[in-house]
Structures are given as C-alpha cells and as structure tokens.
Structure 1
Amino acid sequence: MKLSFILTTVLCLVESIAPRCVPCPAIPNHSAPPGYTRILYNETNEHIENPDRGFVYEDISYSSNPTNMSVSDLDEIRAKYGITMVRKQFVLDEFVTSNISSEFLQFVDNNLDNIQTAGFTAIIRFSYTFNLTTAAPYGDATKDWILQHIEQLTPIFHKYEGILSSVEAGFIGVRGEWFYTTHFGDPMTLNYTAYPEFGYPEDLWQDRKDVFEALLDAIPASIQVQVPYPQTKVDLLGDTTPAGSFDEYLRSDKGRTGHHNECFLASDTDGGTYQNKTFEYPYLEEDTKYCMMGGQTCEWKSGDHQRSDCTTALSEMAMFHWSYLNQNFYTGILDEWKRQGCYEEIHRRLGYRYLLTEAVLPDSVLVGETLCFVLYIKNSGFGTPVKPLNMSLLLHSPLTGQFYAAHFYRPMLSGWRPEKVTKIQASFQMPPFMFEDDYDVYLMIRNKDLPDRSDYYILFANENVPDHSAGLNNMQHSIHVYGNYSDICGAGIYPFTAPNPSRYKRSFQGFTGGPIG
C-alpha cells in the first residue's frame, strides 16, 4: 500500500527548558512499542453528510420573481436526498442597467442565512438572463455594470465565507456560462482570421479578465472562483502549468481558480467544454488536485450514450477530482447510473471521504511530558476539501465533561490524496492544568469560520467512530493522564469548548437498493 507522509510536530514552547522534553519513542510502521496500543478501524458504507461535497440541489431565483429557500425546504431536501449542498443561482434580470436594489441584496442575504441555519454549504452564481435568443442582444450586462454589482455583493461574500464552497464566475453571458454574450465576444460572430487568438478583439478578452479579477478580489481568499472550460483558466492567468501545493498554501490566483463543467459526459468534448483534450486532460487532472471541480451532466449531444455509462463516469470523476454534481439535471444520465448501480457510489465519493485505517496511541502519559501518536488516514473519495480547515486531537474527561485540544499547525488536507493512505506522526506537550483521569481521544476537523457549528465538522467513514451530533471522531481509545504539575517542559494542549450539537442525523438512510429520486 502506497503511503504519503505528513509530519506535524509541535515542539516545546520554551527553549530554555526544551532539554527536559521526553522524546517520542520510535514507532515502526503498523506496530506499537511498549506502552502503546495499535487500534484498527473498519470502513462503513454509511452515507456521511459532510460539508462542501456531494450531490447538490440547484435552485434559481430571479430578481423579477424572487423565491426564497426556507429552512424547512432545506430540511426536506436533506431528508429526501441526503444532500447538504445547494447550487444557488441568482438571476439579476431587473438590474441589467441599474444598481442591485437594497431589497434584492437583502433577499440574497436571507437565502444564504437560511442555508447556514440549515447546516448546508453553497455554490453561488450570478447572471442576468436564462433565455437564449437566436442572436445578440442576449440580455447580459456590460462590464461596468457587472463590476458595480460585484462591489455591491462584496459584503455578502465576506459575511457568508463559512458556507460558501465556491463562487462560479457567472455574470457574463446567458446563464452566466461565458459563452452567448452581447458584450464580451459573441460566439455567433467569431472571426479567427482577423482575431486568431480568441475570434474577437483582444480588448473584449481583457474585459472578461477584468470581471474575473474583480470577483477574485471581492471574495475572501479561502473561497475559489470556478470558471467554465479549462482553457479559460489558462487564458485568464496566461499560464499553462497547473496549480500545485504552493499555490494552495499561498492562496494564489492559480490556487483559487477552480473549474465547472456544464455538460459532463454529454459528448466526446462534453458539449464543447474541451477544445484540445491532449493538453486539457492531463492539465485538469493535476490542477484539480488543488482546485475545485464540479458541475452537471446534460442531454446527450450524439446518439452514442456509452460515454455516460458508469465506467466512464467513475473514471473521469476520479481523474478530475469531482467535489459536487447537480442532482436536478440531467436526470436521463442520473437515472441511467441508478439502473447501472453506480449512483450510490458516486453519492458517497463526490469530494473527500476520509476514514481511519489505524492509529498508534499511548496508554498513559505523564503531565508535562510528550504525548506521541501516529494516525493512518485513507481518502476513498474523488477529491479533497476545497477550503482551509483546522484539525485537532482532543482529550475528553468523562468525569468533568471538559475537552482539551492539541491543534495541528495549518494541516494541508489536500495532501490526503484519493485512494492513498496518509501517515500522520505528531507529538504535543501535556500542560500543567490537566488532572489525573482517563481521557477519551477524539479527532476533530472543522471549518475555521464556523467553529461553533458541528454541522460543518468533518466526520470519518468508519464504524463506531463518527459522533454525528458532536461532529467529532471517536478514536475508540483512552489515555490515562497522571502526575503532578511540576517540571513542565512546554504546553501544546489547551482547554476546548465543544461545538453546539447538530440537530440532524448527518447520516443518510435513504438508500434501499432501488432508484432514488
């Protein structure tokens, strides 16, 4: 089994007394030294409801006829489909040549507030029309109005940073798909003889770039902007090299630019998504290791439906690290997956799906000395989390109910690659204020912006590990902490307040072996 290694160590905090720290013993792979226990964990087929991943429920609201998704609507969607993610489209059809009204801005705010109350995450997109005409004008706005609208929406982007999985680039063209557009290069009048690079004047491409950069600047750095077509990202950034771990760490423009495919599996080119698959496939395979990928299927563009079969669907979702897929469209392909038997697997594997395979933990530790441990974590999903997360080892006293947390420093969960097992070896210093007791061990991975909401904590796909209400992962082991409070060499563990418990089961039980829908 191939292992990728991450070493996360918190060293003694006071250099002058660092020599008193007791070093960790050698812990060989897949074995426990004296005084330690090796715990093995079983995977479950349970459908865990985790944030920022999965099938999404699409909802479209027009400013001319706004329809709000209530919390009860979202509760019903969760109960029926096991979905905790919304793709919300706002159509600014009344504001093509004017500012967005304060009433509609409040409407957008109310929608996102309901989504947060219901424990969902959201992908959002703004556009001006959904009606495709045979020729321009198509009904989208000019660059100046788009930039003004992005500025108006900026406070909302920041207010709901915690629940926004991504913002699709939108704004330009019919449905915000950057294709049929009046002001940014009409595809019906392309002239590659006069304009060999894009088929229209370069200043119109610069206008697209201005909109894209304004959107990147408007939203928090933790959120990605998704663009249609892989070539669009290459052209916007002027860079043919895919993103890497450095881009993710620095939240560079390359690391914050994801992808959405609006016609997945509909034809050999996915309805025009791909122009040069020889370049785009390997580029996208590498880029989506760090940048978000999602979208929807659409109606078949040819008589050959074999491309949309389960075999190809599973292969390409794994290759391009899909995080989400619209379950509202196209139902013809989704129903075929149900008939062929891969729908449930896709439902579980979209995005990340983490599980513990084993852990090596101490049976006891002396106050003031070093708590050393090893974890092995597998990712059986298609992708990895799309936003920065915080990770901690928790010690819980059943006697007092108090939690203590040892926080990992900026864990890079994108390194927990699909179908790989990651070894995490770490150590923390026991603090002076912990009294003698047997402490239960938990692992916590949470959204940094919503620390009080357990709905946004990541649960592992193991038997008897996820505490669905608390959002924590019970590692099925206790550590006896003992000793007095003198001779402390450092401190890496602090009191921790558990989040509010979820009012949801966070486990979908709707699969009965038959079609779902």
Structure 2
Amino acid sequence: MKRLNSYLWAIGWIAMMPLGCTSSSDLASITVSAPERRDPERTTVLAKAPKPTTLIDSKSVNYVATSAAFLNPERGFHNDIELMSGRDFGYVRSKGHSLSRALIRLDDYRNRPLPATFLAQLNRQFQLVRAAGIKVIPRFSYNFPTGDGDVSKSPDASLELAIEHINQLKPILGQNADVIATIQGGFIGAWGEWHSSANGLDRPAPKAKILAALLAATPSSRMVQMRYPHDLRTIYPQPLKLTNAFNGNRQARVGFHNDCFLANRSDAGTYYPNPAELQSYISKISPFMAVGGETCQVTPTEHRSNCPTAEAELAKFHWSYINAYFYEPDLDRWRKEGCYDRIARNLGYRLQLLQSRFPAQIQRERTLAGNFTVQNVGYASPYNPRGLELIAHHRQSGKVYRLPLLKPRSKTHDPRFWLPQAGKISVDVQAQIPQAAPLGTYELLLNLPDPLPKLANRPEYSIRLANEQTWEAKTGFNSLRRTVQVTR
C-alpha cells in the first residue's frame, strides 16, 4: 500500500549494563546420550518452594550454537490474513511463519454497533488461529484504500462509536489473548494507520482516547502498538525505563509499529515533526516494547533499504517482526545483498544456551541446585510473558516433572529481560523433585512455554533455543544434555 503521511528520521541508542555472566574456563565438557521422546502432558507441577542449597559435585556442559533458521512464537517474518474470511490458517506455518497480521475490516459498521453475529464469528476465527498453531497481530480498520487515490479523508467512525466498538470487542480479546501477539492501534483513518481520518480521529485528543480505550479492552498481558512516535511521546513525555518495564501499567503496554520502514529519511513521515528527538525517544524505549511493521517506498531518491542500514536499524530499534511480502523491492534487495537470511534469524529474540552446571547426583530430600547461562543474539527480547521451567524426566518410568523457575520481572529469571545488550546471563536454579517421585536417573531439560493454559502444553508455542542437538519438537523442551541421579 502507498503511505501518504509526512514524518521524519532520527538517531539514538541505548546502552545497558550486562545483567550477569559466568565463566567456563575451568569447567570440563561432558556428553549425554540423546533424549527419549515423551508426552509433555504427563506433568507434575510443584507448589512447594525449594530450600536453598549449594552446588555439590557439580559438572558442566558447554553448548554449540546453531545458525539454522526455525520458527519461534511471536517473532519473525509474517504474512497477512483476512481473519474474518479464513477457513483454515494451517498454511501459515507451512509457508514458514508463526505470526500473521490479522486484518479485520469494520467498513459495514461505521455507523452502527457491531452485531452479535460479527462478534461470534470473530471468536470462531480466533479458534482457527489457535488450531493452526500460530499467533496474530490484529488490526481493526474502517477502510483499506488501494491504488493511488486520495486518502486524505478516509472514512471511519465517530469517536464515540469507535470507542463503543472497542468496548464490544473487549470480551473477545480477553478470551483469545493467548493467540494475540500484540494489537496494532487501528480504527483511525486510512488503513487504521492513525492518519487521514474523515471524522477527525487523527487529532491528539481523540488519539489519546482511542489508545486508552484499547488498553482498557486489551488484556494486561498484551501491548497495543502505536503508529507514530510523536503521538506516543505526546501521551508519555518521559521515556519508559528499565525499572518500569513489563510491569503491566499502561505506558509499559504501549508498543510501536513502523509501516514505512526505510522509505526515506523520515520513514515517510513516521518520525515527523522532530526526527532526532523522536528516533532517540524510540531507541530508549524499544528494548521494552513490541516493535514491528513493514517497509514501503515513496521517495526513490532517498531509498535507504541497503543491508547495512536495514540491519543496523532493526537492531537499534529492537524489531521483533516484519512483513514478508511488502514492500517486495526492499525484500528482494536484502536477498540480493545477502542479509535476508540473517534478518530472518535475528528478528525478535534468538536465545542461545552457553553452559549449564548441575550436580551429577543428589539425595531426594535435597534441593537440586545449579545454573545455566544464556545469551540473546537477536534484535529483541520476548515482549510477552513467558514461562521458565526446569524439566526433570525420569528415564525409567517416563514421568515428567515441571519445576518452575520463573520470577516475574527478574533480570535473570524472566525471559523478557534477556535483552540483547545484556550479554551473558547466568540463571541460578533452585528446584526440588517431589519426595514421592521415584529414585533413579533424571534427564534435565529447559522449557520456555506459553504461560496461558490453552497453549502451555503446545510445543509449537514454546521457545526453541538456538543450539545444536537440544530441541525436542514433540515436547517443546530444550535438552540440557545431562542427567542427575536421585538417590535416597
């Protein structure tokens, strides 16, 4: 689509201290036999907090990184789907995507509330998304111009009706938060891109009210992405800081989508009216927010889509996703210049195990203490809540025990804080195998599942680590390639 807005270009960078590190110079590598396949639903969840202890007779394993491309949830190149007209979205994963932007047209409801039939159909369509093993980025719009026509007064709804529509959507969004990665602001103007509104919704006051309504209607675990940095800074003049990141408050739940990435010096108006300040503002907050969008072309003489520029800005602004089909000349240039595959690997998070250290043997009544070291070599961290579990698989019986490690908003025990600029992150483990569990040999694995119940045991929604010989496609677990012997 052609973007007809007017915004600017800016420059800024954020530097963050490492969150933790560990040394492996004095640790010897060991090899463990390949893991058995198992049923991830045979689990025991521990409620009892383990007692602290120290590493005893610990041994280390070092891990080999992989350059392979693979799917992971809530990140990567995406496609577009017409959510309301789809019948089966299984093709999305087969095309190499775990994520789709879901375009939802409200053209027929510019002058009336959403009917119950529409809401019921929308809920059914989200069920198809879940069945397909993907997540979506919904965008609601009252129009979708094509061609080169004038979009300066694109038809949308009145402010009051738009807010009524958002309120009507609240139950549907709540019921389907598990398969919503993030929501783009939508509703306002041409394509729902927050400009060119026939009803004046593209002014500051209506924008603020639309955002407030969306944040209230969207589950607190999900972000709402705004189109323009100027609007974001107008509402939140002070940049979000690490100390307030991911805390569920409104400012911490606002993201950014740039739908004219690399078009020209202003990204076709994205950074209007003050380029340097706005780009600096976004660079400061982008580590803690969902960032994505698509490229476009409006000024060929200022085209900036070469690989060095694209890769530098994707990293600088911590992009998690980008459209795989628009704008084709930019994507073709990345292929020709050789950076397309690197971008595909690095969009969003790319988590690599570096080392783990656990005892070879423990008594059943003792706490299993150890640690592992991880590094994020992608552009961004996971932006939604994510589980963190040590998996203990009893080889003799096949029983699986899930030992929770997550500490919300911990810089080491919450994957959202595994930021690229954090370097090596050492995660201490204190876990306890239940006293009723059998004695014997336990294989240790790491699991980063979706925390919501409908997806918690779905392997396609768990994070795969970027290492050789660790991923189990059947379970969604990452093998630590070691065992521990549990004795009396």
- Taking structure 2 as the reference length, the TM-score comes to 0.85
What pairs with 1:148-227 in structure 2 (closer than 5 Å)?
Answer: 148-184=164-200, 204-227=203-226
CA distance in 1, matches of 2:172, 2:392: 37
Letter in 2 for 1:418: P
Equivalent of 2:57, from 32, 35, 44? 35
Per-residue CA shift, 1:434-491, capped at 9, x if unaligned? 22111000101111112132211111111000111211001100000001xxxxxxxx
Task: Say whether residues 1:277 and 2:275 are aligned partners.
Answer: yes
Letter in 1 for 2:180: L
Larger deviation: 435-444 or 135-144? 135-144
Match of 2:346 in 1: 349
Q: Shift of residue 340 of structure 1?
A: 0.7
Q: Secondary structure at the match of 1:289?
A: helix
Per-residue CA shift, 1:366-402, capped at 9, x if unaligned? 1111211111101111101111111111110121111
Q: Secondary structure at the match of 1:259?
A: strand
Q: Shift of residue 185 of structure 1?
A: 5.8
Higher-Rg member (1/2): 1
Asked whether the 8 Å contact 2:153–2:189 carries over to 1, the reply is no
What pairs with 1:223-234 in structure 2 (closer than 5 Å)?
Answer: 223-234=222-233
What pairs with 1:270-419 in structure 2 (closer than 5 Å)?
Answer: 270-275=267-272, 276-305=274-303, 307-408=304-405, 409-410=407-408, 411-418=413-420
Equivalent of 1:429, from 428, 432, 435? 432
Asked whether the 8 Å contact 1:454–1:471 carries over to 2, the reply is yes
Asked whether the 8 Å contact 2:104–2:141 carries over to 1, the reply is yes
CA distance in 2, matches of 1:455, 1:46: 17
Q: Shift of residue 108 of structure 1?
A: 2.0
Per-residue CA shift, 1:194-251, capped at 9, x if unaligned? xxxxxxxxxx5222211110110001000000001111111123x2x22223333421
CA distance in 1, matches of 2:254, 2:440: 48
Asked whether the 8 Å contact 1:289–1:414 carries over to 2, the reply is no
CA distance in 2, matches of 1:377, 1:85: 25
Q: Secondary structure at the match of 2:319?
A: coil
Asked whether the 8 Å contact 2:139–2:186 carries over to 1, the reply is yes
CA distance in 2, matches of 1:163, 1:136: 34
CA distance in 1, matches of 2:212, 2:265: 31
Match of 2:74 in 1: 52
Over 3 Å counting, the alpha-carbon distance change for 1:457 and 1:214 in structure 2 is same
Task: Say whether residues 1:98 and 2:120 are aligned partners.
Answer: no
Q: Shift of residue 430 of structure 1?
A: 4.1
Letter in 2 for 1:230: P
Q: Shift of residue 160 of structure 1?
A: 0.8
Asked whether the 8 Å contact 2:140–2:192 carries over to 1, the reply is yes
Over 3 Å counting, the alpha-carbon distance change for 1:458 and 1:22 in structure 2 is closer
Larger deviation: 398-407 or 312-321? 398-407
Task: Say whether residues 1:23 and 2:53 are aligned partners.
Answer: yes
CA distance in 2, matches of 1:22, 1:84: 39
Q: Shift of residue 135 of structure 1?
A: 6.7
Letter in 2 for 1:414: R
Match of 1:482 in 2: 487
Q: Secondary structure at the match of 2:178?
A: coil
Asked whether the 8 Å contact 2:349–2:376 carries over to 1, the reply is yes
CA distance in 2, matches of 1:134, 1:427: 62
- Taking structure 1 as the reference length, the TM-score comes to 0.81
CA distance in 1, matches of 2:424, 2:128: 37
Task: Say whether residues 1:5 and 2:20 are aligned partners.
Answer: yes
Q: Secondary structure at the match of 1:308?
A: coil
Match of 1:441 in 2: 444
Q: Shift of residue 79 of structure 1?
A: 2.0
CA distance in 1, matches of 2:479, 2:187: 44
Q: Shift of residue 348 of structure 1?
A: 1.1
Match of 1:189 in 2: none
Q: Shift of residue 258 of structure 1?
A: 0.1
Letter in 2 for 1:364: Q
Equivalent of 1:78, from 80, 93, 96? 93
Letter in 1 for 2:92: I
Q: Shift of residue 75 of structure 1?
A: 2.9
CA distance in 1, matches of 2:483, 2:61: 11
Number of residue pairs aligned between Structure 1 and Structure 2: 437
**Residue segments in structure 2 that go unaligned for 5+ positions in a row:** 1-16, 23-46
Q: Shift of residue 300 of structure 1?
A: 4.2
Q: Shift of residue 285 of structure 1?
A: 1.5
Letter in 2 for 1:205: P
CA distance in 1, matches of 2:121, 2:297: 32
Q: CA RMSD in A?
A: 2.1
CA distance in 2, matches of 1:371, 1:96: 59
**Residue segments in structure 1 that go unaligned for 5+ positions in a row:** 26-33, 187-203, 484-517
